Amino acid sequence: MRYELYYWTGIQGRGEFVRLALEDAGADYDDVAREQGDDAIVRFLDGAHDGALPFAPPFLKAGRLVIAQTATILHHLGPPLGLVPDSESRRLYANQLQLTIGDLVAEVHDSHHPIAGGLYYEDQRVEAGRRAADLRETRLPKFLDYFEQVLERGGGRHALHEHSYVDLSLFQLMAGLDYAFPRAMQRMARELPLLHALKQRIAERPRIAAYLASPRRLAFNESGIFRHYPELDDPA
């Protein structure tokens, strides 16, 4: 099957979690907005297509199916792409972990946009400073310690005892956090050896390495979810 991925151009965003799964599996897919522009997304959201109506990207067209929400897309793609174990309990656990990753991603976004997504960062800089401090000191250690325990229970190398889309998403999470909060992540590095080792292993997977070296992998930037504002990181 040839898939159609819809996500905004110019940023990695939440669409990158889906893109990494498609790339790792060597799936045939069209990155629709990058080929046709963001208007292709807007038309979909405006109801120009039949079937399910997504609220926002990312969403995936798989044959006649239209699937929105990152975790739901990956839950659907996992079995046909060989990126989730066969058992129902493992598939549900993978979905649980992906949703928890999504919770942290939302908190990262809110660290630089704590008041409103429609306001510029500069309009909420003071509030962002307070929110980011709580993220660095309280929320990041709590989430990352949990994922470190997940890897330990999974045998040390994988979240689910074998390679899955969750490993790919943990790679993206760690890469984004290393970009956004380099000093804070360095401070916590000794407590997260399994997550850092996983990040390195995923980057070395042949298809992922080729993708990361290609123009398809956009750089992190200050328009996406993971943004580097030095004033929001640990003090120098």
Percent of the chain having pLDDT more than 70? 100
Tell if the pTM clears 0.95, that is, is over it.
Answer: yes
The answer to whether the beta carbons of residues 112 and 128 sit under 8 Å apart is yes
Degrees, nearest 5: CA angle 220-222-226: 55
20-34: average pLDDT: 97
Span 31-74, pLDDT tens digits: 999 999 999 999 999 998 888 999 999 999 999 999 999 999 99
- Which residues does 24 contact at the CB level (< 8 Å), separation at least 6? 81, 83, 168, 205, 207, 208
Strands 2-6 and 59-62: antiparallel
One-letter amino acid at 232 equals L
The answer to whether the beta carbons of residues 184 and 235 sit under 8 Å apart is no
The answer to whether the beta carbons of residues 164 and 78 sit under 8 Å apart is yes
One-letter amino acid at 132 equals A
**Alpha-carbon gap, residue 8 to 44, rounded angstroms:** 12
pLDDT for 201: 98
- Looking at the DSSP bridge assignments, the partners of residue 65 are 62
pLDDT above 90 (res 236): no
The answer to whether the beta carbons of residues 203 and 171 sit under 8 Å apart is yes
pLDDT for 49: 86
- The tokens describing 198, both together, are 């996983």
What is the residue whose two structure tokens read 């159609």? Answer: 4
Task: Just give the CATH number of 88-205.
Answer: 1.20.1050.10
Task: Please state which of the ranges 2-11, 42-51, 168-177 shows the lowest mean pLDDT.
Answer: 42-51
Residue ranges of domains in the chain: 88-205
